[in-house]
């Protein structure tokens, strides 16, 4: 009887294991069927659905963040401490843009423009830090050169020459805030930063201790970094303006223009260019996983 019981237990165990194997196999086939049925039931589909339901709010937040990034980028030219915040805002904007583009709510062209803003702001920030280092190195080499020539108080002489080129930079006093003069503000805007504008003045106007191969090398490095800033700003501005012109301004212009002008050869060319760009944006609008 014990032998028969052992045989029955073994058969029972085999049956149970067979049921478990069959259940595992069936569950796998069910999962495969669910994944290939075209229904939106994955975690990504759930997230995409939530983004779609709140798309208008998210797009409004995205636009506000773009404005904030632009405002901080402009203010950081005159208040350098804001530069990291401008870069952080650009990164957050690009992150939200990535979510909207990945869920098909905006074109990947928009994400590319936001990503370009992050890249160019990063390049400009790195170049500005390098220029600040160049200024420190310039002062040190010039002080050393004057000291070797026997000039008394070489640090005072070089510091005075650096500070001397900043004459005429102060404008009106607004409460406790010292505003830059109009001319200095224009130089800051052109150089994309106070330290950059200061470097340009030092490179062009200071003479104390300014000579020798090392001095020229440092000035060359500073000018190369200035060129990076100029190119980065031109690329970002150019891409943004081209997108705004082809995507918004030309259609608005044609809508406001008289029919005769809109149907003229020039109007037709502008319309075709704008429609072609719209096709590019539409073809670059798709949801990841679609």
Length of the chain: 290
pLDDT recorded at residue 168: 84
Helix orientation angle between 182-191 and 194-205, rounded to the nearest 10 degrees: 100
CA distances 81 to 72, 73, 152, 188, 253, Å, are: 10, 11, 36, 15, 40
Mean pLDDT throughout 164-169? 88
Average pLDDT, integer, range 90-99: 96
CA-CA distance, 73 to 121, in Å (whole number)?
8
What gap in Å lies between CA 55 and CA 134, rounded to an integer?
A: 47
Q: What is the pLDDT of residue 160?
A: 93
Per-residue pLDDT at 39:
61
What are the residue boundaries of the structural domains of the chain, listed by start?
45-283
Instruction: List residues bridging with 177 in a β-sheet.
Output: 174
What does the pLDDT look like over 126-159, one tens digit per residue? 999 999 999 999 999 999 999 999 998 999 999 9
pLDDT above 60 (res 89): yes
CA atoms within 13 A on the CB side of 229: 24
Q: How sure is the predictor about 72, in pLDDT bands with cuts at 50, 70 and 90?
A: very high
What's residue 212's pLDDT?
87
* pLDDT at 80 exceeding the cut of 80: yes
The count of other CB atoms within 10 Å of the CB of residue 233 is: 17
Weakest-pLDDT range from 42-46, 66-70, 158-162? 42-46
| Poorest-pLDDT segment among 45-49, 72-76, 185-189, 261-265 | 261-265
In this prediction, residue 265 carries a pLDDT of: 85
Is residue 27 very low, low, confident or very high in pLDDT (cuts 50, 70, 90)? confident
Question: What average pLDDT does this structure show over 38-56?
Answer: 83
d(CA 286, CA 102): 7
User: Which among 239, 247, 238, 241 has a CA at the least distance from the CA of 270?
Assistant: 247
> Please, what is the average pLDDT of the chain?
90
- Confidence bin at 176 (pLDDT 50/70/90): confident
What per-residue confidence (pLDDT) applies to 202? 94
pLDDT digits (tens, 9 = 90+) for 203-218: 999 999 898 899 999 9
What DSSP string runs through 66-103? HHHHHHHHHHHHHSGGGHHHHHHHHHHHHHHHHHHHHB
> pTM of the prediction?
0.78
């Amino acid at each position: 009887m014990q032998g028969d019981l052992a045989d029955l237990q073994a058969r029972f165990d085999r049956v149970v294991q067979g049921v478990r194997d069959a259940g595992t196999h069936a569950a796998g086939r069910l999962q495969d069927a669910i994944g290939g049925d075209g229904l939106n039931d994955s975690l990504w589909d759930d997230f995409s659905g939530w983004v779609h339901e709140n798309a208008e709010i998210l797009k409004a937040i995205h636009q506000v963040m773009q404005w904030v990034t632009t405002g901080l980028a402009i203010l950081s030219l005159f208040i350098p401490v804001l530069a990291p915040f401008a870069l952080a805002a650009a990164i957050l904007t690009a992150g939200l843009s990535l979510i909207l583009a990945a869920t098909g709510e905006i074109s990947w062209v928009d994400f590319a423009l936001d990503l370009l803003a992050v890249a160019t702001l990063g390049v400009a920030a790195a170049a500005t830090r390098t220029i600040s280092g160049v200024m420190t190195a310039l002062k040190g080499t010039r002080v050393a050169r004057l000291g070797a020539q026997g000039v008394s108080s070489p640090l005072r002489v070089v510091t005075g020459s650096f500070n001397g080129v900043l004459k005429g930079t102060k404008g009106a006093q607004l409460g406790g805030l010292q505003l830059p003069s109009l001319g200095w503000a224009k130089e800051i805007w052109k150089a994309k930063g106070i330290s950059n504008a200061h470097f340009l003045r030092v490179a062009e106007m200071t003479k104390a201790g300014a000579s020798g191969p090392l001095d020229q090398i440092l000035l060359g490095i500073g000018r190369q970094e200035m060129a990076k800033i100029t190119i980065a700003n031109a690329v970002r501005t150019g891409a943004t303006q081209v997108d705004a012109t082809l995507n918004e301004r030309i259609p608005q212009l044609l809508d406001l223009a008289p029919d005769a002008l809109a149907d003229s050869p020039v109007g037709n060319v502008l319309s075709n260019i704008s429609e072609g760009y719209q096709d590019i944006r539409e073809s670059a609008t798709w949801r990841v996983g679609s």
